[in-house]
């Protein structure tokens, strides 16, 4: 007689993009983490119930990731019954964890920030024995007690199941469910959705065989010519660290207005500021040209077939890689027009769909052959940035729950950029989580880079050009 639990299992093979993330996560790239700092103790039973409601509503959150070593394939298997168990750490347990973490190098790194980085580097999906069959959960949640008046709620997910848009949706839904059940009934998805490749509109991903070969060759050759930030330590084991770029509301308003007047998005200005700051930090001779890579990530939900709602959980982003020559004489807006213009032009030609398989293939080749990248660093670009900015405003719910701060992003110490930008405008202020691989790059190096980016942005608005 069949096992009742087995008969409930439903699943599908991982799609091409999901497969790339499954390959990347064991090396350290693709752990999505969210952390919420509270000034009021959360109701643990209410939080556990909220997590189960989220799992009931979204099949991917109650799925397991299965790896079959015989076929080298990954699959998602979903059960009907939620199983996530909330982990809780009291004051002494949290203190013990903080004591085991590496020295933060600066007093400006708060306990909240350190707990967030701890979650970002908890790699549940690192399998030391790839020859064995493995099944792992995709969704984890914890609560840490920092003091008698501060708590941290964290969510950690495999990026194949949760892109940035999904993470934002989960954060908002969880807060609503915890805050008195304002969202008691979630609209439930009936079954596990298809991967992004199976939802690309007909004809959008078409590319002649010869063109695919030429593009693959171009991407490969360009990767050897790309410049990077100086590497501090390319040999030691790596982890992901985060610095945050904050701008006050007045400067944020000036920058967003300047972008709108030039018909570019904020991602173009952020990428340009990163290029200018990085080029200056390398101290090249005056006028020396260097080529840098910029990856722009696009949420495709609204342009898939069928169209997906903005709160649909899963990974539905694609990417466009552009390269830019910089010699240090460029102004912010000159370079922002160029970076955004190149990206927008490629998007108009559907390269986010037609090049998807190529970029996934090259990502997997870099993972398997790190020596193909400079110093074995696995750096594929200087910077990655999202096309669209997350907009958020504090509300009465945040006040009732005692929300003091929150941050979310994905790890990037395996394959990826030197700096990954996750930008939000919160209460009118720019708040950008900047993720980087340590000790390939140091916190001091990245703080200097982020400070330089802020100066470039502020000065660019002050001068107007």
Question: What's the whole-number mean pLDDT along residues 264-283?
Answer: 96
Least confident segment among 187-191, 357-361, 451-455: 187-191
The predicted model scores a pTM of 0.94
pLDDT digits (tens, 9 = 90+) for 292-328: 999 999 999 999 999 999 999 999 999 999 999 999 8
CA 137: distance to chain centroid?
A: 19
Which residues of the chain does CATH 3.30.559.10 include? 4-178
Question: What's the whole-number mean pLDDT along residues 157-186?
Answer: 87
Say which DSSP state 99 is in.
H
Least confident segment among 101-105, 197-201, 220-224: 220-224
Length of the chain: 465
Question: What's the whole-number mean pLDDT along residues 173-187?
Answer: 76
Residue 230 predicted with pLDDT over 90: yes
For 249, phi and psi rounded to 5 degrees?
-60, -35
Task: Say which CATH superfamily domain 200-405+412-463 falls into.
Answer: Nonribosomal peptide synthetase, condensation domain (3.30.559.30)
Output 400 or 119, whichever has higher pLDDT: 119
Residue 210 predicted with pLDDT over 60: no
pLDDT digits (tens, 9 = 90+) for 375-389: 889 999 999 999 999
Residue 295 neighbours by CB under 8 Å, 6+ apart: 319, 320, 321, 380, 381, 383, 384, 385, 417
Residue 408 predicted with pLDDT over 90: yes
Taking the C-alpha atoms of residue 389 and residue 246, their distance in angstroms, rounded to an integer, is 14
Question: What's the whole-number mean pLDDT along residues 180-186?
Answer: 61
Question: What's the whole-number mean pLDDT along residues 437-456?
Answer: 97
pLDDT at 463: 72
Q: Using 50, 70 and 90 to split pLDDT, how confident is the model at 464?
A: low
Tokens read off for 229: 């930030």
pLDDT at 296: 98
Residue 395 neighbours by CB under 8 Å, 6+ apart: none
Given its phi and psi angles, is residue 173 left (phi above 0), alpha (psi -120 to 50 degrees) or beta? alpha
Which residues of the chain does CATH 3.30.559.30 include? 200-405+412-463
Nearest residue to 335 via CA among 298, 386, 294: 294
Q: Using 50, 70 and 90 to split pLDDT, how confident is the model at 396?
A: confident
Fold of 4-178: Chloramphenicol Acetyltransferase (3.30.559)
pLDDT at 4: 41
pLDDT at 20: 96
* Average pLDDT taken over every residue of the chain: 90
Q: Using 50, 70 and 90 to split pLDDT, how confident is the model at 49?
A: very high
pLDDT at 31: 98
pLDDT at 42: 94
Residue 83 predicted with pLDDT over 90: no
Taking the C-alpha atoms of residue 387 and residue 266, their distance in angstroms, rounded to an integer, is 8
Least confident segment among 131-135, 245-249, 355-359, 363-367: 131-135
pLDDT at 225: 77
Question: What's the whole-number mean pLDDT along residues 272-299?
Answer: 92
Taking the C-alpha atoms of residue 458 and residue 385, their distance in angstroms, rounded to an integer, is 19
Taking the C-alpha atoms of residue 249 and residue 256, their distance in angstroms, rounded to an integer, is 10
Residue 346 predicted with pLDDT over 60: yes
Beta-bridge partner residues of 299: 317
pLDDT at 56: 93
Beta-bridge partner residues of 319: 297
Percent of the chain past pLDDT 70, that is, above it, reads 91
């Amino acid at each position: 007689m069949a096992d009742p639990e087995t008969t409930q299992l439903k699943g599908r093979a991982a799609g091409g993009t999901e497969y790339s993330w499954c390959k990347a996560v064991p090396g350290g790239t693709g752990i999505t983490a969210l952390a919420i700092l509270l000034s009021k103790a959360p109701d643990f039973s209410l939080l556990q119930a909220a997590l189960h409601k989220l799992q009931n509503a979204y099949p991917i959150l109650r799925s397991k990731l299965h790896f079959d070593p015989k076929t080298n394939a990954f699959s998602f298997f979903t059960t009907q019954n939620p199983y996530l168990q909330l982990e809780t750490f009291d004051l002494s347990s949290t203190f013990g964890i903080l004591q085991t973490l590496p020295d933060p190098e600066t007093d400006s790194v708060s306990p909240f920030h350190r707990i967030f980085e701890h979650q970002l580097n908890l790699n549940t999906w690192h399998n030391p024995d790839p020859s064995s069959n493995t099944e792992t959960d995709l969704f984890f949640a914890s609560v840490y007690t920092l003091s008698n008046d501060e708590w941290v709620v964290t969510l950690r997910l495999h990026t194949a199941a949760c892109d940035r848009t999904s993470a934002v949706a989960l954060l908002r839904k969880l807060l609503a469910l915890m805050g008195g059940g304002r969202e008691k009934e979630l609209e439930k998805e009936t079954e596990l959705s298809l991967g992004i490749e199976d939802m690309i509109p007909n004809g959008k991903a078409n590319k002649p065989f010869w063109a695919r070969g030429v593009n693959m060759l171009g991407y490969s050759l360009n990767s050897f010519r790309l410049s990077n930030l100086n590497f501090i330590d390319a040999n030691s084991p790596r982890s992901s660290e985060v610095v945050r770029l904050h701008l006050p509301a007045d400067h944020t308003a000036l920058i967003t207005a300047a972008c709108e007047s030039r018909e570019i998005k904020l991602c173009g200005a952020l990428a340009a500021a990163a290029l200018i700051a990085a080029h200056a930090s390398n101290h090249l001779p005056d006028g020396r040209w260097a080529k840098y890579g910029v990856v722009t990530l696009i949420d495709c939900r609204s342009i898939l077939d069928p169209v997906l709602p903005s709160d649909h959980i899963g990974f539905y982003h694609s990417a466009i890689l552009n390269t830019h020559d910089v010699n240090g004489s460029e102004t912010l807006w000159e370079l922002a027009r160029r970076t955004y213009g190149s990206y927008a032009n490629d998007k108009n030609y559907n390269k986010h769909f037609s090049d998807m398989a190529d970029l996934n293939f090259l990502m997997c080749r870099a993972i398997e052959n790190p020596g193909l990248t400079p110093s074995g660093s696995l750096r594929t670009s200087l910077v990655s940035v999202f096309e669209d900015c997350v907009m958020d405003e504090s509300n009465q719910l945040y006040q009732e729950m005692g929300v003091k701060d929150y941050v979310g992003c994905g790890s990037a110490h395996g394959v990826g950029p030197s700096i990954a930008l996750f930008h939000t405008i919160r209460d009118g202020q720019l708040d950008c989580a900047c993720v980087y691989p340590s000790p390939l790059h140091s916190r001091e190096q990245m703080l200097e880079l982020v400070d330089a980016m802020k100066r470039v942005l502020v000065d660019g608005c002050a001068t107007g050009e």
